[in-house]
Amino acid sequence: MPVDRRWIGDAFPHRLPVGLRYWYFPPMSGEVVQHIAAGVYDFMMQPLERWRLGKIRTALLGRASGDVLEVGAGSGVNLRYYDPRRLSSLTVSDYSDRLSLYRRRIERLGDGGWNVPVTTAQIDAQRLPFPENSFDTVVATLVFCSVDCAPCGFDEILRVLRPDGQYLFLEHVRPTDGVAARAFDFINPVWNRLSGGCNLNRDTLQAMRDAGLTVTMGEISGESGSSWNDSGRKGVFVWGEGQARA
Ligand SMILES: C[S@@+](CC[C@H](N)C(=O)[O-])C[C@H]1O[C@@H](n2cnc3c(N)ncnc32)[C@H](O)[C@@H]1O
């Protein structure tokens, strides 16, 4: 599909001074640096994880099956939420060099009964180095707020997904409420620089739909009464499943 040029060069990482670009996940390789950065990120995310994200990850990643690719894996927070009995293989990736970090975390999972082949890869979600129809599931959580060209990433995800494959996502997006949306627009330039490239006001759901994904929104089973209905959206966090439009 033709790419909307507004998505390109959105601010990350080119306009940031080098020191600020990757404050939460420095691009340096080296186990110690990556472990410290991952620890800081996980610590800072703890309140959100306890409040809501942990439950969403449980419901979302429990659905991953077959050959699975995760992009923008960050600290590897999702690893413990996969159900290894449902996976044939797992490729964990980020565009920064976190490979030693993932390997260490995966080794620890190995103690918990994991015997799924796991590959780690340093790749850009906008240019996936895999042939068409390679995966049954692609996962991205809290990634497309900072990918330079989100439509390019979704095109790539659709390309590597098998025809009946699923894209499992969790993102934060621009609020639907007018006042909150304008507040997010106002804060975004500052937040973007402080956060190392995250955008608070992207309409990532629409970008998924424009790319050709049919998006089904998730609800937390047991909490809301229904488990996987397209219920519209009220909050800032959206999660669910996308499939290639027939
Ligand atoms: C906020 S972190 C999210 C980490 C993790 N997925 C989570 O749910 O907590 C965003 C991650 O996306 C990665 N990222 C940003 N742009 C990317 C791109 N174009 N390709 C691959 N990864 C990217 C960053 O390196 C970072 O690790």
Mean pLDDT of 106-123: 80
Q: How far is CA 68 from CA 31, 120, 189, in A?
A: 25, 12, 34
> Ligand 1 centre and the CA of 58: distance in Å?
19
Residue of minimum CA distance from atom 13 in ligand 1: 72
Mean pLDDT of 53-77: 94
Closest to 133 in 3D by CA, of 69, 87, 184, 189: 69
Domain ranges of the chain: 5-244
What pLDDT, on the 0 to 100 scale, is given for residue 106? 80
List, edge to edge, every strand of the sheet that includes 135-141. Answer: 118-122, 87-94, 66-70, 135-141, 161-172, 237-244, 213-217
Best probe residue, ligand 1, of 128, 143, 171 (max atoms within 8 Å of C-beta): 143
What pLDDT, on the 0 to 100 scale, is given for residue 12? 37
DSSP helix/strand/coil, 139: strand
- C-beta of residue 131 within 8 angstroms of C-beta of residue 161: no
**Cis preceding-peptide flag for 2 (omega within 30 of 0):** no
Is the distance from the beta carbon of residue 143 to the nearest atom of ligand 1 less than 6 Å? yes
What pLDDT, on the 0 to 100 scale, is given for residue 170? 94
Mean pLDDT of 74-84: 91
CATH match of 5-244 with 3.40.50.150: yes
For the stretch 39-64, pLDDT in tens is: 888 888 999 999 889 999 999 999 99
Is the distance from the beta carbon of residue 197 to the nearest atom of ligand 1 less than 6 Å? no
For the stretch 125-176, pLDDT in tens is: 999 999 999 999 999 999 999 999 999 999 999 999 999 999 999 999 988 8
- State the closest ligand 1 atom to the C-alpha of 126, by its place in the atom list counted from 1: 19
Is the distance from the beta carbon of residue 147 to the nearest atom of ligand 1 less than 6 Å? yes
Helices (H), ranges, 18-68 = 18-21, 31-48, 54-61
Q: Is 112 exposed, middle or buried (0-12, 13-18, 19+ CB in 10 A)?
A: exposed
> Ligand 1 centre and the CA of 142: distance in Å?
7
Q: What gap in Å lies between CA 172 and CA 40, rounded to an integer?
A: 20
What pLDDT, on the 0 to 100 scale, is given for residue 108? 80
pLDDT confidence tier of residue 13, bands split at 50, 70 and 90: very low
What pLDDT, on the 0 to 100 scale, is given for residue 86? 95
Is the distance from the beta carbon of residue 165 to the nearest atom of ligand 1 less than 6 Å? no
Q: Find which of 2-16, 109-123, 169-183 is predicted with most confidence, using mean pLDDT.
A: 169-183
What pLDDT, on the 0 to 100 scale, is given for residue 16? 47
What pLDDT, on the 0 to 100 scale, is given for residue 31? 67
Share of the chain above pLDDT 70, in %: 79
Q: How far is CA 141 from CA 24, 39, 76, 96, in A?
A: 16, 18, 11, 16
What pLDDT, on the 0 to 100 scale, is given for residue 223? 57
> Ligand 1 centre and the CA of 225: distance in Å?
31
- State the closest ligand 1 atom to the C-alpha of 125, by its place in the atom list counted from 1: 20
> Ligand 1 centre and the CA of 141: distance in Å?
8
Q: What gap in Å lies between CA 91 and CA 201, rounded to an integer?
A: 29
Q: How far is CA 87 from CA 41, 168, 202, in A?
A: 27, 14, 31
Lookup: tokens for 126:
């906008």
> Ligand 1 centre and the CA of 34: distance in Å?
14
| 76, 81, 84, 88 alpha-carbon torsion, rounded to 10° | -60
Tokens 């990643």 locate to 61
